[in-house]
Structure formats: C-alpha cells, structure tokens
Amino acid sequence: MEDRLLNAPAVAELLTISLRSVWRYAKEGTIPPPIRIGMGTIRWRKSDIDKWLRKKTPEK
C-alpha cells in the first residue's frame, strides 16, 4: 500500500488547525516532521500524521 503525501493545507484541514499553526507546530516539533521531496517541496506522510493522532487521542 502506498503512503499518501500531504501538503501543508491538507495537514491543516486534517488536524483542523490553521496553515500558520501547521508551520509553527512543525518548527516546534509538535507534529511529525515533514520530508523534503524536491526543491521547495515539503510534504508529510499521512501515515505519520495518523500515527501521531492515534497517540494523541486516548482510546475510550
């Protein structure tokens, strides 16, 4: 199965935060680090974001 790569606006939508917060959280290390896939192109692995969300959200 291929892992999807998300751009910053997609991460913001998925996490329901602002685009500015995505960049701030990435800089702070609050969310998983992005990967550079080319000159000026940064993406997040959806699997990394999903894993981070599972750890952040306690199961009931």
Give domain limits for the chain. 5-56
CA angle 33, 18, 56 (to 5 degrees): 55
DSSP secondary structure code for residue 48 in this structure = H
Q: pTM of the full predicted structure?
A: 0.85
pLDDT in tens, 25-41: 999 999 999 999 999 89
CB count, 10 Å around CB of 7? 14
Per-residue pLDDT tens for 11-24?
999 999 999 999 99
45: closest CA among 57, 33, 29, 28?
33
Count of residues in the chain = 60
Distance CA 16, CA 38 (A): 26
